Amino acid sequence: MPFYLRLVNKSPIKLLLVHALFGFIASQNSNFSTIWGWSIVIFGSYNIIKNRNRFNDAVFFTIYLMGIEVLLRMTNAEVLWEFGKYGSTLMLMLGLSMENLTKHRTSIFIVIYILTFLPSVFLVPFESFSFWRQCISFNLSGPMLLFVSFIYFRNRLITKNEIINIFRVFILPLVSMSTVLLVRIPSLEEIVFTSEANFQMSGGYGPNQVSSILGLVVAIISLSKILGLIIFKKNVYDYMILSVCSIQAYLTFARGGVITAITAVFTSWFISTLIHSNTKIIKTGRISYIIFILFLLWSIAGDFSEGMMEKRYASILDLDASGELSGSGRILIMTADLEIFKDNYFMGVGPGMANHLRMDYGYHKTVASHSEFTRTLAEHGIFGIIGIFALIFLAIKEFSYRKRMDRCILSCFAMIAILTMFHSAMRLAMVGLVFGMSFIKYNSSYSED
């Protein structure tokens, strides 16, 4: 076993402290973040090739990169904007190339999904290579990562020890990001809570993306309890991380990440209670701790924001005179997308081309869509509809023949990916990777030393 996996396996608490220190340094020095980000991809690629992916190296380095993606953006690291997606796709493809590809069975539905994006690529004007590349990269790197991730993870046997280490590897850089958020909190006198998402409590970076990745921490720790796992040796450490990340997610006032996580967790828990009736009481007891912590911290965050947080969530279905959803404008953007689709229903307008057109369809400025589904309709037309249905049907079909706890994992991760597509499109590598991870096969009866 490589030294980095031995370290993750044997010294997780020390790594938590190290990553808290990394977060503090990154908050003060963007050069550190730059070196950190690039070293993951370079060191990861080297070890995947060196070890021929015998230890699932591609999984661990890719999951780590997923965890650090938002931190790199918020600390202004000198990396490409789609660095997380590029790096993840590269390392997963390297991992696949090191293995016997004949044992990886794909699905006709995922092939249909990726092929439906190709026709409209020819509609993007070639004003310059840079413009063309940016349109394709920003809009199609997410679907491409999802495609590669599905092929890599589908039916891959993951042992109990491996899934614990995967969860650890993801959470470690999130401890660093959480530290950055704590360092950047302004003084109490300067904090102002309004009816909109709060940049002050999200480290000055996009609250929606911060909330999404913190919500995934909440979901993973909750899922670990449903599976009967302890991530960081003792439950108290898991619950401490859950507490910090959940209250930070609440205070971003970005509702999507929180609602997505809670919905996914309770869906997975409900499915787990249907598997073996004699374990229903045990599983209910495990999730009750999560419910208590989340409810308690909800109350604390609500009091801290002087009731504004509750108002923010309560207004989720309120529309103002312009049709905007609680100050965000997502409904208006989705409406514009549907109008664009109606006028260009066959092939759409091409990847990225709807950004400018939304101004002509009722939105007040150039803007990227928050919903991957309406973006797909506007930019890929009927082919986009086929792709969306292929993706959803794929998840349903895979769920139908899976057994035991595999259904819990699939329902949790697939729901996180799909719901995140609704409110944050595919801005993060998290979406494609988590969707792919939905299709692992979990061997709870085997644990490595």
pLDDT digits (tens, 9 = 90+) for 342-383: 999 898 998 988 888 888 887 778 888 888 999 999 999 999
| 368 DSSP 8-state letter | -
Q: How large is the average pLDDT for residues 397-409?
A: 87
* CA atoms 248, 74, 137, 34: torsion sign: negative
Whose CA is closest to 143, among 440, 422, 421, 395? Answer: 421
Distance CA 401, CA 268 (A): 16
pLDDT greater than 50 at residue 323: no
Q: Which of 83-92, 107-116, 347-356 has the weakest average pLDDT?
A: 347-356
Please determine, for residue 221, whether its predicted confidence score (pLDDT) is greater than 90: yes
pLDDT, position 193:
79
Rounded Cα gap, residues 80 and 86, in angstroms: 9
Model confidence pLDDT, tens digit, residues 33-45? 999 999 999 999 9
- Rounded distance between C-alpha atoms, residue 17 and residue 155, angstroms: 34
Whether residue 84 has pLDDT greater than 60: yes
Do 371 and 422 form a contact (C-beta atoms < 8 A)? yes
> What average pLDDT does the chain have?
87
For the stretch 229-274, pLDDT in tens is 999 989 999 999 999 999 999 999 888 899 999 999 988 888 877 7
Q: What is the mean pLDDT of residues 402-419?
A: 90
The CB-based long-range contact list for 359-363 (8 Å cut-off, 24+ gap) reads 361/335, 361/336, 362/332, 362/335, 362/336, 363/329, 363/332, 363/333, 363/336
Query: Residue 24: phi, psi to the nearest 5?
Result: -65, -45
Q: What is the pLDDT of residues 117-152, one digit of tens each?
A: 999 988 888 777 878 888 888 889 999 999 999 999
339 is written with which tokens? 């109008």
Residue 128 confidence (pLDDT)? 76
Q: What is d(CA 414, CA 122) in angstroms, rounded to the nearest whole number?
A: 31
Q: Report the C-alpha gap between 118 and 97 in whole angstroms.
A: 24
Percent of the chain at pLDDT > 70 equals 92
Q: Are 72 and 37 in contact (CB under 8 A)?
A: yes
Distance of CA 394 to the CA centre of its chain: 19
Q: Which residue has the higher pLDDT, 312 or 168?
A: 168
DSSP single-letter state for residue 233: S
- Comparing 195 with 305, the larger pLDDT belongs to 305
Radius of gyration of the CA atoms of the chain, in A: 21
Domain layout of the chain by residue ranges: 1-105, 112-443
Q: What is the pLDDT of residue 318?
A: 60
Structure tokens at 364: 């007040």
pLDDT at 309 > cutoff 90: no
- At residue 446, the pLDDT reads 56
To the nearest 10 degrees (0 to 180), the angle between helices 372-401 and 129-153 is 10
Rounded to an integer, the average pLDDT of 79-97 is 94
Tell me the pLDDT band of 182, cut-offs 50, 70 and 90.
very high
Express as a percent the part of the chain with pLDDT over 90: 56
Mean pLDDT of 283-288: 66
Backbone φ and ψ of 441, nearest 5°: -115, 120
pLDDT at position 430, please?
95
Confidence band for 283, pLDDT divided at 50, 70 and 90: low
